[in-house]
Structures are given as structure tokens and as C-alpha cells.
Amino acid sequence: MSRLPKRCVFSHDACANQFLFMLSGGEIFFFLRAATVSETRVSLNFRTLPKAEVHIHLEGCFDTATIVHLAAENNVPLPRPEAELLTFEGLSDFLNFLDFICGLCRTRDQLAKAAYAFCERLRDAGTGYADVIVNPTHWHSWRDNLGGMIDGLDAGFAAAEQDGLPPVGLCVSLLRQQSAQQAIEVVEELGRLRHPRIVALSVDGNEAAAGRTGQKFADAFRLAGKIGLKRTAHAGESSGPDGVRDAIFLLEADRIDHGVRAIEDAELMTILVDRQIALGVCPSSNLILGLYPDLEAHPLDRLRQAGVLVSVNTDDPALLATDLPQEFAGCATAYGWDRETCRAVAATSINASFANADIKARLLRDLSAW
């Protein structure tokens, strides 16, 4: 079984007849052993792999030190001892923790710092661009001030870009439990703001707790399309294939966050392939939050082999103790991905992102030289 390993693992892919050693830090070494050819050593460094990230939440990018610092700054006690801060009992517990963290960001400066730190995290992972999801319902101090919240975040993203850190587009997310009217009001506000940082409307949260919400949010998503926003939706994580169908047919999603449970519905897989709708898959997140026991059971590679566009992502990297090179290295090890497969998955991440044409062209050019 292979969870995403933190240190050093060894596996053998009988079909490709290749041995893989993975080291910490997202670097793996392949020892290819063709029957008659002597051993060849190929090194893949996923930190240098040109790539985009299309499924990552700002809420999930606060490390323990920052959480402890913000709690002290606001004079708020931690909900549990520091050593157990990042221990979660499934998705609901995890989502509640996001409310705690984001509730600690109360000033414009704290927002800007969180945004800047996010871009440093991208740089450290060698990620060239990210569509970052922000769900205003978690950020209690900003609930009635979406414009102020976007302004604070944008200040941090803009300062980061000026300092040479990777560019970022913002996906403003609805929460599953919001009402149809609240959803429309969020989109109307986005229409008034017309902020260039905002690239998409999103919906996240726990589908298992909220039930089927496609119909409820259909009008809001239609309005988002009318004001020129892209659309993305969490589905097929805490919902089954029905959630993915609703995201496609009711929300007209350009991209699906997770989407992995589409594997349970062959007709839906054909729809994803025909319409070239990419999935933003987050392997570690799905294992840690209990969707699959290990990568062998995870459908990522079966989806890819069936022709579904898949990218690899981190979801909430600081809280789940992962980064993008580690996600790639884990998949390459578990599934025996060679350089070309890794390159193709990275290309999907760039093509499926909502980056502008110049950023996409630059990243794709760099990727072809990797």
C-alpha cells in the first residue's frame, strides 16, 4: 500500500519493469530495467517541473506557527493543544477548523500577509501559477465586506508578484449550506466589484451534510457565467457521481474540484472525456480525509488512463502537511509514471487553469524543456 510517503519508499512496477526510489522533497529516481538493456538511472525533480495548481484553498495554507501566532495576536485560545492542532476526524471536523483559522484574520494587513505567504509557498513548490479558492464564509470578520476582503488579499498577491513570486487568480467560493438568495447576492457583489484578481465562482464545503445543491445554486452560477467568470465546483468527493453530473449540467462547471467518484459511473466518464472537463484531483487530501485507504485504491490513474483530464493538486497543503512536488512524487511512485506522463499531467494543470494566455504559453514552453 502506498500512502503518499514522507521519507523514502521503494516500489516495483511489474508492467513497466521499473524500480522507483522516492526521496523526501519530491525527487524520485527511476531504475529502468528493460529485459536486455543495462540499468538506466533517470532522476525526476518535481520542484523544477513547470506546473500550475488549480485546486488549493487559501484557508488550508496556514502553517501551525502562523496559526499559533495569529491566535496569540488576537488573544484567542487554541481549540486543542498545539501538537494536535492538525489532527482531523474527517471532512466536517476539518471544515470547522477552517472557520477557526480564518476567524483570526481580522485586519487588512493580516489578509495581505496570508496572500503573500501563499505565493511564497507556490515559489517553494516550483508552481508557476495558481487558481486559489477563497470561501468568504470562513472569514468571519469580512462577512459583510467582500470588497474589503478582496482588496486586502489582492494587496498581498500584487506585492508578491512585484517581488517576482508566482501570479495568482482568485476563485470566490460559495459554501454548500448557503441559500440560493445568498449565492445570488455574492455573485451580484462580484459583478459590482469586477475585480481583475477574481477569475471564477466556486462552491465548496461538505456535500454529504448539505445534500444535493446543484439546483439551488444554478441561478447564481448562470449569473456568474454572464458576468464573465469561469465556474468550478467541488463534487465527487463528499458526493458521488450525481454531484459531478449536477456540477456539469446544472452549474455548467468549466472544471471540477476532486470529481474522483466519477469513476463509479462509466457514462459520466464518457461525458467528462467528450467535454474535456478537467478534474482538480487532490490525492493526499482524499486519503487523509478518509475517501480512499491508499493510492492503489485511489482512482486518479484509472481516470487518467480512461482519457479523463486530471491534474494533481494539494487542496489544503499546510493543514494536510503536503506540497505539490510531494503529490507528484507519490503518484509517480505508486502508478509508475514516467517523465512523459508527469509532463502530460502538468500540461493539463496549465491548460485547465484560468491563467491568462501569456502565463499559459510561458509555462507550457518551460514544460517542454523539462
Task: Say whether residue 204 binds ligand ADE (CB under 6 A).
Answer: yes
Task: Say whether residue 315 binds Zn ion (CB under 5 A).
Answer: yes
Of Zn ion, ligand ADE, none, which one sits near residue 237, judging by CB under 5 to 8 A according to partner kind?
ligand ADE
Task: Say whether residue 57 binds ligand ADE (CB under 6 A).
Answer: yes
Binding mask 119-158 for ligand ADE (x = CB under 6 A): ----------------------------------------
Residues 291-320 that bind ligand ADE (CB under 6 A): 315-316
Q: Which residues of 189-224 are buried (b: 16+ CB within 10 A; e: fewer)?
A: ebeeeebebbbbbbbbbbbeebeebbebbbebbebb
Residues 61-90 that bind Zn ion (CB under 5 A): none
Task: Say whether residue 60 binds ligand ADE (CB under 6 A).
Answer: yes
Residue 131 near residue 137 (C-beta atoms within 8 A): no
Residues 209-238 that bind ligand ADE (CB under 6 A): 234, 237
> Minimal distance in Å, beta carbon 31 to Zn ion?
35
> Minimal distance in Å, beta carbon 238 to ligand ADE?
7
Long-range contacts of 135-139 (CB under 8 A, 24+ apart): 135/57, 135/59, 135/98, 135/172, 135/173, 135/174, 135/175, 135/202, 135/204, 135/205, 136/172, 136/173, 136/186, 137/175, 137/178, 138/59, 138/98, 138/99, 138/101, 138/102, 138/103, 139/102, 139/103, 139/105
Interface with Zn ion: number of residues (CB under 5 A)? 1
Q: Whole-angstrom Cα distance, residue 90 to residue 163?
A: 38
Task: Say whether residue 243 binds ligand ADE (CB under 6 A).
Answer: no
Task: Say whether residue 167 binds ligand ADE (CB under 6 A).
Answer: no
Q: Which residue, 95 or 332, has its beta carbon nearer to ligand ADE?
A: 95
Determine the interface stretch with ligand ADE among 3-11, 57-65, 177-185, 247-255 (rule: CB under 6 A).
57-65
Task: Say whether residue 207 binds Zn ion (CB under 5 A).
Answer: no
Name beta bridge partners: 4.
none
Q: Whole-angstrom Cα distance, residue 76 to residue 291?
A: 32
Name beta bridge partners: 12.
19
Determine the interface stretch with ligand ADE among 53-61, 149-157, 263-271, 300-308 (rule: CB under 6 A).
53-61
If we measure between CA atoms, which residue out of 237, 368, 206 comes closest to residue 300?
237
> Minimal distance in Å, beta carbon 176 to ligand ADE?
8
Of Zn ion, ligand ADE, none, which one sits near residue 360, judging by CB under 5 to 8 A according to partner kind?
none
**Cα–Cα distances in Å, from 29 out to 45, 55, 161, 295, 338?**
9, 27, 33, 19, 10
Binding site for Zn ion (CB under 5 A): 315
Binding site for ligand ADE (CB under 6 A): 57, 59-60, 91, 95, 204-205, 234, 237, 285, 315-316
